[in-house]
Amino acid sequence: MANILVLGGGFAGVEAAIKLSAEGHKVQLVSNRDYLFVYPISIWIPVKKKSFYQVKIDLKLLAVKHQFIFIQDEVIAISAKQKKVSLVNQELSFEYLVVAMGMGKMPMSGLEYTHSICGKPEEAEVIKRELEKLVQQGHGKIAIGFGSNPKDPSATAVRGGPAFELLFNFSHYLKKLGLRNQFELTFFAPMKEPGKKMGDKPYKKLDLFFERYKIKIRKGQKITRFEKNAVHFEDHTQLESDLIIFIPGGSGHSVLANSDLPLTDAGFIKIDEYCQVDDFEHVYAVGDITSLTGPKWAAKQGHIAEVMAAATAYNINKHSKGKEKRKSFKAHLNIVCVMDSGDGAAFIMRKPDTEIIFPLPIIGHWMKKAWGFYYRNSKLKNIPRIPGM
Ligand SMILES: Cc1cc2nc3c(=O)[nH]c(=O)nc-3n(C[C@H](O)[C@H](O)[C@H](O)COP(=O)(O)OP(=O)(O)OC[C@H]3O[C@@H](n4cnc5c(N)ncnc54)[C@H](O)[C@@H]3O)c2cc1C
């Protein structure tokens, strides 16, 4: 039985802790939040389809159900060489370390005038309140967009998905309130072809969604800065908006600057196909915090974080028993997304040899809701897990 320390209580860290404690190891999981935030269904908080409470899962409860130790604290430094991790309130040592603290965001001028659905979970509540103010006013302009990190393209794609989902959901919500014609909804992004990572076919179909939900588009111009109620572009034009929601490109987690872990130029942890951190036999990294090398379209997604966590648990278990066998996560790299629009969804899949998009009116929305129910209840052991999900 090995002493394993997991840093981070998101999709990646929790899945690793569950799998490792199931193998009988002593697992301690550290998270600065006392809940796992189920980001994919947080898009429904602003349109009041889910409460904040319904989108989080209590880590103390998960720890009891899966018999790992939960420590609520903030990681401030990691020494892989000394096998020590500094938290605000204590120092912990480990035999094996799994780093899973998610990613940071690219700095930009004026970000304080924007809100992001991909940052701190509480931001979803702020967006809900800001949208409500505009609804009370009866009219307004809303701009939703995303940026990129040129040094790490894998940190962008899925962060585009939530922007599209918010736009379509806002449009549907305002229509239901009878206010759609009083609102201008605009999508903005600096890339020439935002969303192209999903594949050529899905990208071409996106325009149909923009038409259906009456979304204006501003793309292909670098964003120079944000100001209160305005997005400024390199061509000196600006987009005025009462509410700006912007998902910046992802960057390495800030704590990694206080670590001896090997990092890419973009600040993500360098790992091999077994999730083992380069040069450290006892240290693994999983999920959004890693550098996801692979096909150009590879994207950091929740289900990939879980596949990486499962491979990591398998590999640590074998290594701790002196066995040679290892599992790679690379063969499972794909993009799978049910892009919700409030009244339906589009199913999108990209693999090396496959590009699929098909609309799922009405049922797609309920499929995503059913997934949210399944994720929460299977993690809490209220219902059995479906193999591979
Ligand atoms: C709005 C939104 C919608 C999405 N939709 C989808 C989707 O439909 N399908 C899909 O597959 N993916 C989706 N994703 C992506 C998916 O949510 C992420 O890939 C996934 O959350 C990554 O998991 P993670 O555990 O690596 O990181 P995170 O979920 O970010 O978890 C990081 C954890 O580390 C903790 N932490 C951070 N810093 C510290 C610290 N210093 N000390 C202690 N703890 C720390 C945090 O509290 C958190 O518990 C979406 C993401 C967003 C934001």
- Distance, in Å, from the CA atom of 14 to the CA atom of 31, rounded to the nearest integer, reads 10
pLDDT at residue 237 tops 80: yes
Q: Is the CB of residue 217 less than 8 Å from the CB of residue 209?
A: no
- Among 65-74, 168-177, 344-353, where is mean pLDDT lowest? 344-353
Task: Identify which has the larger pLDDT, 74 or 353.
Answer: 74
Q: Report the topology of domain 3-104+251-333.
A: FAD/NAD(P)-binding domain (3.50.50)
The pLDDT of 208-225, averaged and rounded, is 96
pLDDT at residue 157 tops 60: no
The pLDDT of 26-40, averaged and rounded, is 98
- Among 140-154, 176-190, 223-237, 321-335, where is mean pLDDT lowest? 140-154
Give residue 155's pLDDT. 62
Task: Identify which has the larger pLDDT, 159 or 229.
Answer: 229
The pLDDT of 125-154, averaged and rounded, is 93
Give residue 202's pLDDT. 84
**Which is the closest atom of ligand 1 to the Cα of 11?**
25
The percent of residues in the chain predicted with pLDDT above 90, rounded, is 86
pLDDT at residue 388 tops 80: no
The mean predicted confidence, pLDDT, of the chain is: 95
- Please name the residue that has the structure tokens 């409470």: 53
Of 346, 344, 366, 340, whose CA–CA distance to 358 is shortest?
A: 346
- 161: phi then psi, degrees, rounded to nearest 5: -50, -50
The pLDDT of 340-354, averaged and rounded, is 92
Q: Give 385 Cα–ligand 1 centroid separation in angstroms.
A: 21
**H helix or E strand, kind and range, residue 247:** strand 243-247
Q: Provide residues with CB under 6 Å of ligand 1.
A: 8-13, 30-33, 39-40, 42-43, 74-75, 100-102, 117-118, 158, 161-162, 255, 287-289, 300-303, 305, 337
Token pair in block for residue 85: 């991790």
Query: What is the band of 156 on the pLDDT scale with cuts at 50, 70, 90?
Result: low
Q: Is 342 exposed, middle or buried (0-12, 13-18, 19+ CB in 10 A)?
A: buried
The pLDDT of 356-365, averaged and rounded, is 93
Which DSSP string do the residues of 165-221 spell out, in sequence order?
HHHHHHHHHHHHTT-GGGEEEEEEESSSSTTGGG-HHHHHHHHHHHHHTTEEEEESS
Q: Is the CB of residue 294 less than 8 Å from the CB of residue 308?
A: no
Q: Give 101 Cα–ligand 1 centroid separation in angstroms.
A: 8
The pLDDT of 297-321, averaged and rounded, is 95
Q: Is the CB of residue 26 less than 8 Å from the CB of residue 4?
A: yes
Q: Is 60 exposed, middle or buried (0-12, 13-18, 19+ CB in 10 A)?
A: exposed
Q: Among 288, 304, 306, 335, say which to mutate for ligand 1: greatest number of ligand atoms within 8 Å of CB.
A: 288
- Distance, in Å, from the CA atom of 128 to the CA atom of 150, rounded to the nearest integer, reads 31
Q: Give 11 Cα–ligand 1 centroid separation in angstroms.
A: 6
Token pair in block for residue 20: 């490792």
Give residue 331's pLDDT. 86
Of 167, 306, 144, 304, whose CA–CA distance to 231 is shortest?
A: 144
**Over the range 4-24, which residues count as b (16 or more CB within 10 Å of their CB) and which as e?**
bbbbbbbbbbbbbbbbbbebe
Of 260, 302, 247, whose CA–CA distance to 104 is shortest?
A: 247
pLDDT at residue 307 tops 90: yes
Q: Give 260 Cα–ligand 1 centroid separation in angstroms.
A: 23
CATH of domain 107-249+334-369: 3.50.50.60
Q: Is the CB of residue 160 less than 8 Å from the CB of residue 202?
A: no
Q: Give 322 Cα–ligand 1 centroid separation in angstroms.
A: 32
pTM of structure: 0.96
Determine the angle formed by the axes of helices 200-212 and 157-176, rounding to 10 degrees: 20
Q: Give 237 Cα–ligand 1 centroid separation in angstroms.
A: 34
**Three-class SS of residue 54?**
helix
Sequence ranges of the domains in the chain: 3-104+251-333, 107-249+334-369
The pLDDT of 193-203, averaged and rounded, is 86
The pLDDT of 303-314, averaged and rounded, is 97
Give residue 353's pLDDT. 86
3-class SS string, 131-164? HHHHHHHCCEEEEEEECCCCCCHHHCHHHHHHHH
pLDDT at residue 232 tops 90: yes
Q: Is 233 exposed, middle or buried (0-12, 13-18, 19+ CB in 10 A)?
A: middle
Q: Give 114 Cα–ligand 1 centroid separation in angstroms.
A: 20
Q: Is 378 exposed, middle or buried (0-12, 13-18, 19+ CB in 10 A)?
A: middle
- Among 281-290, 305-314, 327-336, 367-376, where is mean pLDDT lowest? 327-336
**Which is the closest atom of ligand 1 to the Cα of 255?**
41
Q: Is the CB of residue 42 less than 8 Å from the CB of residue 57?
A: no
Give every strand in the sheet of 26-31, ordered side by side. 69-72, 26-31, 3-7, 96-99, 283-285
- Among 125-139, 252-266, 332-346, where is mean pLDDT lowest? 332-346
Q: Among 42, 50, 301, say which to mutate for ligand 1: greatest number of ligand atoms within 8 Å of CB.
A: 301
